[in-house]
Structure 1
Amino acid sequence: MSVQVDTSNWPLPANGVRFITPPRLRRLLARSPLAQGCYPLALGFYPQAQGHRMHRPHPEDHLLIYCRAGQGWLETADGRLAVSGGDLLLLPKGVMHGYGADVDKPWTLYWVHFDGDLVTEFLKPLGKGPLWRIGVQPRLLAEFDALLNLRKQGLNLAHFVHAAHQLQVLLTSLAVLPARTTLKSGRVLDVDAVQAVMRAHLHDALNLDELAAQFKLSRFHFAKTYRALTGHAPIQDFIQLKMAHACRLLDEGEQGIRQVAEQLGYDDVYYFSRLFRKVVGMAPSHYRALHQG
Structure 2
Amino acid sequence: MKKDSKIYVAGHNGLVGSAIIRNLKKKGYENIISRSHKELDLTNQSDVKKFFEGEKPEYIFLAAAKVGGINANNMYPADFIYENLMIECNVIKAAHDFKTKKLLFLGSSCIYPKNCPQPIKEEYLLSGYLEPTNEAYALAKISGLKMCQFFKKQYGDNFISVMPTNLYGPNDSYDLETSHVMPALIRKFHEAKAKNLPYVEIWGTGKPLREFLHVDDMADACVFLMENYDGDEFFNVGTGREISIKNLAEMIKEIVGYKGGIQYNTSKLDGTQRKLLDVNNLTKLGWRYRIELKYGIEEVYNNFLCKGSNKKIIDMDVKNV
How high is the TM-score relative to the length of structure 2? 0.22
Higher relative strand content: 1
Flag the structure with larger Rg: 1
